[in-house]
Amino acid sequence: MKRTVWLAAAVALSPMLAHAQEVTLRLVSAFPENQFYVKRTLDWIADVNKEGKGVLQINFIGGPKAIPTFEVGKAVQTGVVDIGFSTGAFYTNVMPEADILKLSETSAAEQRKNGGYELINKIWAEKANMRYLAKVVEFTPFHLYINKKIDKPDLTGMKIRITPVYREFFQSMNAQVMTTAPGEVYTALERGVIDGYGWPIHALFDLNWQEKTKFRVDPGFYNAEVSLVMNLDKYKALSAKQREYLERKALAYEQQNDFWKSYNQSEAKRQAEAGIQTITFDAATSKDYVAKAKEIGWANAIKASPQYGEQLKKVLAK
C-alpha cells in the first residue's frame, strides 16, 4: 500500500522534476527584426534549443515592436525579459558605462584574458543588474553617412541622426544632432528631417538606407559592440549545468566574430556598387579625425563614469 502511494506520488511529480531541469529564457532584440544581426541571433537560438533540450531553451519574443529599442536595457535590468540583444548605446538610461564599450581597441577575446571581461561583469552586475554574456559584433567601425558633400570635418548646418555613440564627436563638428532608434532612420531620411546619420560600416542594406544615402565619410572610428546581456537574478537562479551550457554557447557565438572582418569588406563594396560615394580627407585630417573621436570618447567616458572610466580604459584601449 505504502509503496503504491510512493509510486503514485513519484509519477505525479516527475513532469515537474523534468520541468525543473529545463529553463526557458525570454530574449528580446533592440535591433529591428529584419536586421541581419537578428537573423544570426535566431540561428544561434535554434542551435541553443536543439542541443539544449532538457537543459535550457530560449524563446525569441521579438524586436522593437515588442519592447522599444531604448527600453530593452531597462527590461533586462528589471527582469521583464531575461536576455537582451542590444548595444551599450541603447541603454545609457540604465548606466552611462554601457556606451563605453564602443571604445574597445582590444578584442573580446583579449578582454577575456586581460581582466576586461571580469571588470565589465563587475560593473554590469553592480550598476545594471546584468550579466554580460558575450559580445557578438566587433571589428566594425562606425561611419558618418551624409547627403551633402563636405570637404572638411565640419557639419555646421547639418542635422544628423545619432545615438549616444556619436553624440559628442558629431557635436564637436558642429552638427545638430537628433537621437533615434534604427527603426526610425529610413523615414527621417525620406522626409529630409536629417542630412545624415551615424551607423556601422555594415547593415545599411538590411534597412534599405542605401536608397537614401549619398556619401560615406571615411575613415571610420570606434568599434561597434553588440551583445547578449542577461538579467542577473535570472542568471544566478540557473543551475550550474544550465549556466555552463549557456556560457559555452554564448562564448561559441562570440568566437565567430572574425566573420565581421570579411563581411565588412563586402559591405563596403556593396555600398560602392549601390552608388554611395566615399568622402575621404587628406592623411593628416583623417588622422586627426580618428584621434579626436577617441579623445572625445574617453574624455566623455571618464566624465560620465569617474568611478569606472579609467579602469575600463586600461583594458579596452591600446
Instruction: State the residues that interact with ligand 173 by CB under 6 A.
Output: 87, 89, 163, 165, 182, 198-200, 224, 226
Minimum CB distance to ligand 173 smaller for 106 or for 242: 106
Q: Give whichever of 223 and 305 is closer to ligand 173, judged by the CB atom.
A: 223
- Least distance (Å) between residue 256 CB and ligand 173: 16
- Shortest Å, Cβ 287 to ligand 173: 24
Give, to the nearest 10 degrees, the angle between helix 283-304 and helix 309-316: 140
182 or 220: CB nearest ligand 173: 182
Least separation in angstroms between CB 14 and ligand 173: 45
Residue with smaller CB distance to ligand 173, 82 or 99:
99
- Between the two ends of the chain, the Cα-to-Cα distance in Å is 73
CB under 8 Å to 258, separation ≥6 — which residues? 139
Cβ-proximal residue to ligand 173, closest one: 163
Identify the CA nearest to 214 among candidates 154, 281, 148.
148
On whether the CB atoms of residues 202 and 264 are closer than 8 A, the answer is yes
- Smallest gap from Cβ 305 to ligand 173, in A, equals 18
- Counting Cα atoms < 13 Å in the Cβ hemisphere of 239 gives 11
Nearer to ligand 173, 52 or 63 (CB): 63
Compute the least distance from the CB of residue 169 to ligand 173, in Å: 12
Alpha helices, H only, the chain: 2-21, 36-51, 72-78, 108-113, 116-128, 167-172, 185-190, 232-237, 240-254, 259-273, 283-304, 309-316
Region of residue 157 (phi > 0: left; psi between -120 and 50: alpha; otherwise: beta)? left
Q: Looking at beta carbons only, is 55 or 188 nearer to ligand 173? A: 188
> Taking the complex as a whole, how short is the minimal distance between the CB of residue 131 and ligand 173, in angstroms?
20
**Closest by alpha carbon to 141, among 253, 217, 205?**
217
Write down the least CB distance from residue 273 to ligand 173, Å: 22
CA distance 116 to 128: 17
Report d(CA 42, CA 60) in Å as an integer: 8
Nearer to ligand 173, 88 or 116 (CB): 88
Instruction: Give residue 255's region: left, alpha or beta (phi > 0; psi -120 to 50).
Output: alpha
